[in-house]
């Protein structure tokens, strides 16, 4: 006999879903405005480099919502603006980095834009080296086991990273010891200019999970609820000792790889397809349909986000560059003498 | 004090540090059940369990990468590589990650990890069990590079390396593992500071600047030379990065002659850096050109004549010293 779910419970669930989708959407709107602002600043010559994850937003936000912020460890890659945004990093911080400012609280202006690091929010340190952070995630999960802690390590990487040896070595190590790791591949179909068909034999990153005896699932990168549920399930299974899993989120790459990439290897049609696969408008349509937002409110969100990013950019731009004489600071731990001197200042 | 081989001293150093600090963990191939291919971790699995003495798959990059990630979140991992030759797959993680994390986050994250590996030839190990890889890492800011020349230093330096806040490459001359015994302090807090050279022998005629297995060659050579009336001073560098420039300078200022000895290849070997330092900073103190005894820029053969032809030994050091003092 089918069990009847009481109507009140159904209503409550629907309300929660609506409110979740609304939160995802609001972050996606801000992320998109930040993304646009970063590209504009680059074109104006105000910054020296940009690379963003336009098209990856929903996948990043919905998966990052599955973490316990400040407790679970996030190991994003450089395209993961929205992972960090969801975990509390502000656009202003990211813009300080984009301008290479000394007060950038992630790398003090040393790294390329969006190569974040935030120990307090438990966001690992992003490098440009593809796949490097996958092993760090596994190491952090091993540390949790050694220290008797319950944190889960979640790492994000692109489809290109799925071809790196380190990714497979790390997955094998995690699976062997049932470490608490969730591997999330944001598959946008392009490793800079090499398409998935020339990059991933068999065409599926998720299918590779089978080799490591872990669950592997492919999901639509625009399906916020589906991604949130799948990631939450994977995170909580990992926390409970069931070991790692792999999620492959299918997303479009709506922009060139970076500002230094002409994107000439994609046909106009391919680029058009990527733009048409933008996951943000469908989410907007869904919210309108659910009555979780109205057109006026929506327009206001976009306007406010544009103003927020523009103001944050202007504020960040006004900050000073790092002084040249500090170029070698932090190569090594400060000596006791240096520490004392800094404390005096 | 007790007379120990270098490998015993290393094992004690690891055991003592694991005892003292439960965030110290070991990762590597064959380090648990087997106790290490050179038995440097023998008995530690039984004492500390399989979680803290982790037998890993053959995945050097992941060993280094996991050690780095673990170090970033609070552990003090000691990663063992079976041979320096097999660290190359981990090069990217060590050079682009371990070395850069502190700098690239301006001190927000750091990597207190040790990467240990045996180095050196002379044991019939051929190309892939004989390489001296230390110079590769000396080129990279953010790393410390240590090469002990005896059991006591191995123990004291390894304990310092484990307690260090930065990544330390710890290279052990495999030919020194068991070939001699030395008095080693048993004090659990016996430390040899990283970055300090040691004046091993005083002598007026020349300074032999060396490390690792080179120290043995230098000592033997010094004995031969003494019988001929040549007094060689020996400075064991012990730490290549950071180099104890004061100790090097002090010795060379005393003798006016410098002979650098190492088993790694000559071209771009660590001796080139020491020679450049002497040329830049001590030119007017030198009575003769700086000389080097090093491997003859070649791979190491399995057969003994070809192996011996390439790597330094005491007689090659003595020969070079004679030429240097007569210049």
- The CATH number of the domain holding residue B221 is 3.40.50.920
Q: Are residues B144 and B218 in the same domain?
A: no
Query: Across the interface, do B62 and A173 touch by the CB < 8 Å criterion?
Result: yes
Residue B189 belongs to some domain of the structure? no
Q: Are residues B49 and B162 in the same domain?
A: yes
Q: Are residues B37 and B173 in the same domain?
A: yes
Q: How far, in Å, CA of A83 to CA of A249, rounded?
A: 14
B285 CB neighbour count, 10 Å cutoff? 15
Q: How far, in Å, CA of B45 to CA of A181, rounded?
A: 25
**Summary mean pLDDT of chain A:** 96
Q: How far, in Å, CA of A67 to CA of A235, rounded?
A: 7
Residue B260 structural domain: 198-325
**Digitized pLDDT (tens) for each residue of chain A, 345 residues in all:** 566 778 888 889 999 999 999 999 999 999 999 999 999 999 999 999 999 999 999 999 999 999 999 999 999 999 999 999 999 999 999 999 999 999 999 999 999 999 999 999 999 999 999 999 999 999 999 999 999 999 999 999 999 999 999 999 999 999 999 999 999 999 999 999 999 999 999 999 999 999 999 999 999 999 999 999 999 999 999 999 999 999 999 999 999 999 999 999 999 999 999 999 999 999 999 999 999 999 999 999 999 999 999 999 999 999 999 999 999 999 999 877 677 776 776
Residue B227 belongs to some domain of the structure? yes
Q: Name the fold adopted by A14-321.
A: Rossmann fold (3.40.50)
ipTM of the complex: 0.96
CB pairs under 8 A between A and B: 148
Query: Across the interface, do B65 and A142 touch by the CB < 8 Å criterion?
Result: no
The CATH number of whichever domain residue B150 belongs to comes to 3.40.50.970
Please give the backbone phi and psi of residue A4, each rounded to the nearest 5 degrees, phi first: -80, 125
Residues 325-344 of A with CB under 8 A from B: 328-334
Q: Tokens 């969801």 belong to which residue?
A: A86
Distance, in angstroms, between B1 CA and closest chain A CA? 31
Q: Are residues B9 and B113 in the same domain?
A: yes
Among B70, B109, B164, beta carbon nearest to A143: B70
Find the closest chain B residue to A335 by CA distance.
B165
pLDDT at A2: 62
Residues 141-180 of A with CB under 8 A from B: 142-147, 153, 165-166, 169-170, 172-173, 176-177
Q: Please check whether residue A118 is in contact with residue A102, taking contact to mean a CB–CB distance below 8 angstroms.
A: no
Residue B190 belongs to some domain of the structure? no
Q: Are residues B153 and B220 in the same domain?
A: no
pLDDT at B2: 86
Q: How far, in Å, CA of A248 to CA of A266, rounded?
A: 22
Q: Are residues B126 and B216 in the same domain?
A: no
State the burial class of residue A195 (Cβ atoms within 10 Å of its Cβ: 0-12, 13-18, 19+). Answer: middle
Q: How many domains does chain B have?
A: 2
Q: Is the pTM of this model over 0.90?
A: yes
Q: How far, in Å, CA of B25 to CA of B37, rounded?
A: 18
Query: Which tokens belong to B273?
Result: 């850096």
Q: Please check whether residue B90 is in contact with residue B63, taking contact to mean a CB–CB distance below 8 angstroms.
A: yes
Query: Across the interface, do A135 and B96 touch by the CB < 8 Å criterion?
Result: no
Q: What is the DSSP letter of A293?
A: S
Q: Are residues B162 and B310 in the same domain?
A: no
Q: Are residues B173 and B299 in the same domain?
A: no
Backbone angle region of A55, left / alpha / beta, with phi > 0 → left and psi within -120 to 50 → alpha: left
**Digitized pLDDT (tens) for each residue of chain B, 327 residues in all:** 789 999 999 999 999 999 999 999 999 999 999 999 999 999 999 999 999 999 999 999 999 999 999 999 999 999 999 999 999 999 999 999 999 999 999 999 999 999 999 999 999 999 999 999 999 999 999 999 999 999 999 999 999 999 999 999 999 999 999 999 999 999 999 999 999 999 999 999 999 999 999 999 999 999 999 999 999 999 999 999 999 999 999 999 999 999 999 999 999 999 999 999 999 999 999 999 999 999 999 999 999 999 999 999 999 999 999 999 998
Q: Are residues B156 and B120 in the same domain?
A: yes
The residues of B annotated with a catalytic role in the active site are 129
Distance, in angstroms, between B186 CA and closest chain A CA? 28
A84 touches chain B (CB under 8 A): no
Distance, in angstroms, between B213 CA and closest chain A CA? 28
Q: Are residues B203 and B288 in the same domain?
A: yes
Q: Are residues B209 and B169 in the same domain?
A: no
If interface means Cβ-Cβ distance under 8 Å, which residues of chain B face chain A?
A: 23, 25, 51-52, 54, 56-57, 59, 61-62, 64-75, 77, 89, 92-93, 96-97, 100-110, 141-142, 144, 164-166
**Which stretches does DSSP call E strand in chain B?**
2-4, 24-28, 53-55, 76-80, 114-119, 144-146, 168-173, 182-184, 198-201, 206-210, 232-236, 239-241, 258-265, 291-295
**Residue that terminates a domain, selected from B123, B156, B184:** B184
Q: Are residues B243 and B133 in the same domain?
A: no
**Residue that terminates a domain, selected from B151, B184, B217:** B184
Residues in chain B with CB shorter than 8 Å from the CB of A142 are 25, 54, 66, 69-70, 75
Using one digit for the tens of pLDDT, what is the confidence trace for B218-236?
A: 999 999 999 999 999 999 9
């Amino acid at each position: 006999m089918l069990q009847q779910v009481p109507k009140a419970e159904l209503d409550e669930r629907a309300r929660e879903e609506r409110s979740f989708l609304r939160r995802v959407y609001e972050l996606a709107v801000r992320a998109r405005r930040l993304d646009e602002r970063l590209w504009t600043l680059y074109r104006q010559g105000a910054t020296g480099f940009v690379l963003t994850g336009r098209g990856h937003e929903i996948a990043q936000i919905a998966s990052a919502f599955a973490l316990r912020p400040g407790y679970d460890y996030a190991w994003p890659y450089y395209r993961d603006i929205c992972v960090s945004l969801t975990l509390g990093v502000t656009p202003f911080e990211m813009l300080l980095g984009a301008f290479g400012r000394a007060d950038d609280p992630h790398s003090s202006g040393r790294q390329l834009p969006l190569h974040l690091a935030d120990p307090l929010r438990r966001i690992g340190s992003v490098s440009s080296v593809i796949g490097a952070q996958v092993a760090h995630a596994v190491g952090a999960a091993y540390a949790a086991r050694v220290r008797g802690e319950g944190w889960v390590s979640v790492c994000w990487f692109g489809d290109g990273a799925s071809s790196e040896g380190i990714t497979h070595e790390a997955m094998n190590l995690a699976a062997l010891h049932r470490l608490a790791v969730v591997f999330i591949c944001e598959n946008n179909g392009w490793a800079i200019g090499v398409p998935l068909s020339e990059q991933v034999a068999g065409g599926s990153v998720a299918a590779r999970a089978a080799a490591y005896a872990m669950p592997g699932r492919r999901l639509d990168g625009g399906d916020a609820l589906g991604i949130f549920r799948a990631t939450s399930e994977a995170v909580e299974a990992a926390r409970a000792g069931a070991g790692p899993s792999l999620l492959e989120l299918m997303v479009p790459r709506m922009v060139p790889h970076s500002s230094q990439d002409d994107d000439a290897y994609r046909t106009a049609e391919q680029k058009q397809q990527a733009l048409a696969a933008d996951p943000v408008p469908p989410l907007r349509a869904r919210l309108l349909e659910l009555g979780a937002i109205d057109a006026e409110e929506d327009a206001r969100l976009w306007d406010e986000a544009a103003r927020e990013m523009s103001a944050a950019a202007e504020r960040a731009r006004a900050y000073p560059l790092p002084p040249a004489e500090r170029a070698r600071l932090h190569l090594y731990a400060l000596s006791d003498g240096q520490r004392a001197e800094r404390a005096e200042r | 004090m007790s007379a120990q081989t270098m490998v015993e001293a290393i094992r004690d150093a690891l055991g003592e540090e694991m005892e003292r600090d439960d965030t110290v963990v070991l990762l590597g191939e064959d380090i648990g059940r087997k106790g290490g291919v050179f038995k440097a971790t023998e008995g530690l699995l039984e004492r500390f369990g399989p979680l803290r003495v982790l037998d890993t798959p053959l995945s050097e990059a992941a060993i280094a990468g996991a050690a780095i990630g673990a170090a970033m979140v609070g552990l003090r991992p000691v990663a063992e590589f079976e041979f320096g030759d097999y660290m190359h797959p981990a090069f990217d993680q060590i050079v682009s990650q371990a070395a850069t994390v502190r700098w690239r986050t301006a001190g927000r994250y750091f990597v207190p990890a040790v990467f240990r590996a045996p180095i050196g030839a002379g044991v019939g190990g051929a190309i892939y069990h004989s390489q001296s890889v230390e110079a590769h890492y000396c080129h990279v800011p953010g790393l410390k590079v240590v090469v002990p020349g005896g059991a006591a230093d191995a123990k004291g330096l390894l304990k310092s390396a484990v307690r260090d806040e930065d990544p330390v490459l710890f290279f052990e001359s495999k030919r020194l593992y068991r070939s001699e015994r030395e008095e080693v302090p048993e004090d659990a807090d016996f430390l040899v500071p990283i970055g300090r050279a040691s004046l091993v022998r005083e002598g007026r005629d020349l300074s032999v600047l060396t490390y690792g297995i080179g120290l043995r060659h230098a000592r033997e050579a010094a004995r031969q030379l003494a019988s001929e009336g040549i007094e060689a001073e020996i400075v064991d560098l012990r730490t290549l990065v950071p180099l104890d420039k004061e100790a090097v300078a002090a010795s060379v200022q005393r003798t006016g002659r410098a002979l650098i000895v190492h088993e790694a290849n000559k071209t771009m070997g660590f001796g080139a850096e020491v020679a450049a330092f002497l040329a830049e900073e001590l030119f007017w103190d030198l009575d003769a050109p700086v000389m080097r005894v090093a491997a003859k820029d070649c791979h190491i053969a399995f057969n003994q004549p070809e192996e011996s032809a390439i790597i330094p030994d005491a007689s090659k050091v003595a020969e070079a010293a004679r030429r240097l003092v007569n210049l």
